[in-house]
Amino acid sequence: MTDCPCTSGKAYEDCCGPILDGSAPAETAEALMRSRYTAHVKGNYDHIADTHAPEAQADYNKDAARAQFAGVEWLGLDITATTDGGPSDDTGTVTFTARFRENGELMAHREKSLFRRIEGAWMYVDGDINPAIEQRRVEKVGRNDPCPCGSGKKYKKCCGAN
């Protein structure tokens, strides 16, 4: 039993293997994303081409991809967010980071990918490379403001006392 390259923690035979060999469809957009990453690791550029939506197929060249990634060592996939893309959805997005080493240099490819179900099969439509990360918003609480914990006391007499 071999671990799946998509870093799902599952065995390849129970994860991306059946999707790549065509014996099972990807049930979710995330499953298709994981199988596409695994296809890069295994050099299965037919799977990547076959899972492009019709409008995206013209932009993909298997030979160019094979040449581009020939010296790449794939190190792992991190799924950071998914929106929709479940078994009953028709569209979904998957935000991910694919880590790899190229010419001895550690690199990462971040993308927010759009997927659409076409005739029952999930397909890659398009991706936003290096999407902006939503900034955390921190609201400053003044000493005399009500404490955000809901105690009813002033902040300086409650959580701000430390």
Please, how many CA atoms are within 13 Å of residue 111, restricted to the half-sphere of its CB? 17
CB of 24 closer than 8 Å to CB of 12: no
> Which of 9, 29, 61, 74 lies closest to 19 in space, CA to CA?
29
Rg (alpha carbons) of the chain, rounded to whole number: 21
Per-residue model confidence as pLDDT tens for the chain (162 residues): 789 999 999 999 999 999 999 999 999 999 999 999 999 999 999 999 999 999 988 888 989 999 999 989 999 999 999 999 999 999 999 999 999 999 999 999 999 999 999 999 999 999 988 877 666 677 788 888 888 888 888 888 888 887
